[in-house]
Structures are given as structure tokens and as C-alpha cells.
Amino acid sequence: MSTRERALSYHSEGRPGKVKVVPTKPTLTADDLSLAYTPGVAEPCREIAKDPDAVFKYTARGNLVGCVSNGTAVLGLGNIGASASKPVMEGKGVLFKRFADIDVFDIEVASERAEDVIRVCELIAPTFGGINLEDIRAPECFVIEQRLQESLDIPVFHDDQHGTAIISAAAFLNALEVTGRKIEETRVVFSGAGASGLACAQLWLDLGLLRENLLHVDSRGVIYEGRTEGMNEYKARFARTTELRTLAEALEGVDAFVGLSSAGLVTPEMVKSMGPNPLIFAMANPDPEITPDEVTSVRADAIMATGRSDFPNQVNNVLGFPFIFRGALDVRARKINEEMKHAAVQALAELARRPEDEVPDAVRRAYPGERFAFGPDYIIPKPFDPRVLLHVAPAVAQAAMDSGVARETIDCDEYREVLERRIRDIASL
């Protein structure tokens, strides 16, 4: 049976789709129902009417995230529409639950207009503890996220931007350590100026990459000062004064390539032209800008990362969004700010540097035959490593408290014990 046939069967057999809603309280007797609904349900309603924050005590809002898409940039499929995005949004809900025990309602908005998506999110915000924006094309995604962050008092996070940026940044910091580089001396070329490409570039700059050492390339070539074709205000922030015009020219002698564009853009000849010990993050999905086999055919000194699970150093967003939202929800953060993102980067990077003998058996079983010693083939933790929850969520929660966006104060040592219980609960799913 082909992958296509298996995937269609997986989604259609039995109960269609991948998610369902189940009650968390007893509903076996008439008395149970009188508490769950009328007349008993009126009591928490009255309490919430008196104190709106009581909604987090008496309902599931504090553990509920809305995954919102309008289907304009779905995976590598492009603008396929709201209904066709629903399998992906259900899948996102599965990942939230599987990795961080967060419940999700997926919301598909039948409009390509940024204003419509913004208004829908504003109107349904009282349902959720946070909103995860997904698969919305650029530049509308930037407008939608910024406006919602300004108008809502719950975390709003566009994973296609910041999830990719956070995971790739953690891998980048570790690749710098492996190769003995300093970030402020490293020259980087980014390929792809959509949501993820621009967000990655900005976060890497925030972490210490120098603007004069960054070149950004899109489908029309180098983004340079004075270029007018295919430009917008978001790309213009990364324009450089340079005579370079093509990706091949930009890669000559540089230290790192970061691809969030399309398959096959980078040739072995381009890789040969890069500097010593090049860092090559070819993250286009499902097919990277250049494959690891193509890189190793011309360079034995490169460190390679992709978005795929069948190659070392997978940059996978599931290492980020479940745990970032977990930490944000558990301190009732008003937003996910830069301090929280940076905390997630550092926590992920530090976890990959832990001794190999600390890697849980569950990870070894999930990746048979692989080594987990920090080095060129292991610069980022594996998605199935349960320690990610214990490292990232507390780091994010602490950063939220330190930066003043948390509405609850927690003890992070006690919090880790709570998270360990969640891991046991997740294992039973």
C-alpha cells in the first residue's frame, strides 16, 4: 500500500479524522448531569460573572488552545483553502495533546482577508487560553499576529514564524559551539523570505548575529538596498547594500546557509564555494534545498540540518510550540514575548548538550541505532524526547514571570514535578 493510500485510510477508517471531545467529569447518573448542566452549571456561571478570572478555575479554558488557519499557506501545498487545511489543524491538535497534554479546538476561517481572521479571533478569544496561528500566508500572517497581540490578553503565536525560528536558532547555537565559532563573526545567507524565513533571520539577529553578516535571498535573488521588484515592508528590513545578486554569488566563502524556500535550490558547486566547516540548514519540506548525500559528496566538514526525520538534526516545530504554550498557559501569560522565545532557544540548546547517558530509553527505542552524543550529527534534541517538556516549559514560564507578562507565580521546582505527572498521563494516551 502506498503512503497516499495509508494516509487516506488512516484519516478515514472508523471515526473520521484524528480528534474527539471527551468529558472530564462523571456523567453516569442523573445527579451527575444536574451538576454538569442545569441546574448546577448556573453556580460557576454566577461566579464567573462576578469575577471573570474565575473562568480559569471552573472551565477548561486554561488548558485550551485555538489553532486558527485560513488555509492560504498549508505545508508545501500552498493556498488550498480553509476546509482542506482541517486535516493539518487536527494534526496540530494531536501534537499539542501528545507532547504537552494541551487540548485544542481547530478553527478554519473561510476568508483570505486579514481583517476577517483578526475579527474571528477577537470574537472567539474568550474560549481559549491561547491562540496558535497556522498556515497563513505572508505578509498577511505578520499583520494578523501583530494586531491580535495588541488587542488580546492571551498568548497569540504564529508557529510557522516563531516555532521554526526557535528550533533552528537552538540548533544554530549548538552548531556554532561544535565548530568553535562566535555568532558575531559568523556570516549567514538566508534563502526564503516568507513567514518562517524572515522570522528566523530576525531571531538570529536578536541572538547576536550581526546585520552586516546576513544576506537574505528570495525567489528573485538577493534582497538589496534599492531593489523594488517583489519587495514589501517586511523584506525591506533585511535589505543590504551589496553588489551580490544571486544565491550562488551570496554563498561564496560564507559560514552558513539557512534554507526555508524550495527543493533543489542549492547545488554541490555552491556548497564547495562556502567557507570551512559550513553550516547548512536546508529546511524546505518535504524536500530540502540540498540533500545531506549531495553535501557529503563534496564536503566532509559540513554540519547539516533539515526538516526531515530520516536525516540527522531534524528541525521540527514540535520541539517548540507544545512546550512554549505549556509554560505560557501555566502562568497565564498575557503574551509570548521575546524573552520567552529566547528562553526556549537556550533550553533546547542546553538539553542537546547533556551527556548521552542521560537520554531516556524511550528515545533510544524511537530512534534505533542512532547516537545521541553532542556533536555534528546531534545538535538538537529529538521530538520524542520527554525531557523537552521538563526543560522548555519551566524556562518559558520563568521568563514570563521575570518579564512581567505572567498573571500567576509558580515555583519551577514544584512545576517540574507537575510536568513529570503530565508525562505519565501522556504516556497513557
Instruction: Specify the CATH number for the domain of residue 80.
Output: 3.40.50.10380
Q: What angle do CA 207, 209, 211 make, to 5 degrees?
A: 125
Q: What is the pLDDT of residue 276?
A: 97
Distance CA 217, CA 109 (A): 31
Same domain, 142 and 25: yes
Residue 6 within any structural domain of the chain: no
Q: Which residues of the chain have pLDDT under 70?
A: none
**Residues 386 and 420 occupy one common structural domain:** yes
Owning domain of residue 218: 162-306
**Cα separation, 283 vs 261, whole angstroms:** 8
Statement to judge: residues 298 and 191 lie in one domain: yes
pTM of the model: 0.95
* 2 is a domain residue: no
The number of beta carbons lying within 10 Å of the beta carbon of residue 62 is: 15
Residues 220 and 105 in one domain: no
Task: Write out pLDDT tens, residues 94-109.
Answer: 999 999 999 999 999 9
Kindly state whether residues 89 and 210 are assigned to the same domain.
Answer: no
**Whole-number pLDDT of residue 238:** 96
CA-wise closest residue to 321 among 364, 236, 383, 385:
383
Q: Which residue from 382, 308, 309, 386 is spatially nearest to 352, judged by alpha carbons?
A: 382
- For 65-78, b/e burial (b = at least 16 CB within 10 A) is bbbbbbbbbbeeee
Question: Residue 366 and residue 385: Cα distance in Å, rounded?
Answer: 9
Report the distance separating Cα 366 and Cα 361, nearest Å.
9
Q: What residues contact residue 105 under an 8 Å CB cut-off, 6+ apart?
A: 64, 65, 66, 67, 93, 127, 128
Residue the block writes with cell 547545488: 267
* Cβ neighbours of residue 6 closer than 8 Å, sequence gap 6 or more: none
* Whether residue 209 is found in the same domain as residue 108: no
Strand partners, 304: 280
Task: Specify whether the CB–CB gap between 102 and 96 falls below 8 A.
Answer: yes
* pLDDT computed for residue 310 by the predictor: 85
Domain identity same for 150 and 174 = no
> ω before 39 within 30° of 0 (cis)?
yes
In a domain, 3, yes or no: no
pLDDT in tens, 31-76: 999 999 999 999 999 999 999 999 999 999 999 999 999 999 998 7
Q: Is residue 391 part of a domain?
A: yes
State the cell numbers at 179.
565548530
Question: How many residues make up the chain in this entry?
Answer: 429
Q: HSE (CB half, 13 Å, CA atoms) of 346? A: 13
Which of these three, 129, 155, 181, is where a domain ends? 155
Share of the chain above pLDDT 90, in %: 92
Instruction: Tell me the catalytic residues.
Output: 37, 92
Does 216 share its domain with 295? yes
Choose one of 248, 271, 306: the last residue of a domain.
Answer: 306
Same domain assignment for residues 173 and 277: yes
Where is 67: in which H helix or E strand?
strand 64-69
Q: Which amino acid is at 170?
A: A
* Whole-number Å distance between alpha carbons of 151 and 95: 27
Residue 243 included in any domain: yes
Q: Does residue 269 form part of some domain?
A: yes
Query: What pLDDT, on a 0 to 100 scale, did the predictor assign at position 241?
Result: 96
For residue 417, what is the domain's CATH number?
3.40.50.720
| Whether 148 and 263 share a structural domain | no
Whole-number pLDDT of residue 75: 84
pLDDT at 19: 92
Q: Is 406 helix (H, G, I), strand (E, B) or coil?
A: coil
Number of domains in the chain: 3
In a domain, 13, yes or no: no
Asked whether the CA dihedral 68, 70, 73, 76 is positive or negative, the reply is positive
Q: Are residues 329 and 237 in the same domain?
A: no
pLDDT at 227: 94
352 and 297 in a common domain = no
Omega within 30 of 0 (cis) for the link into 360:
no
Last residue of a domain, one of 247, 276, 306: 306
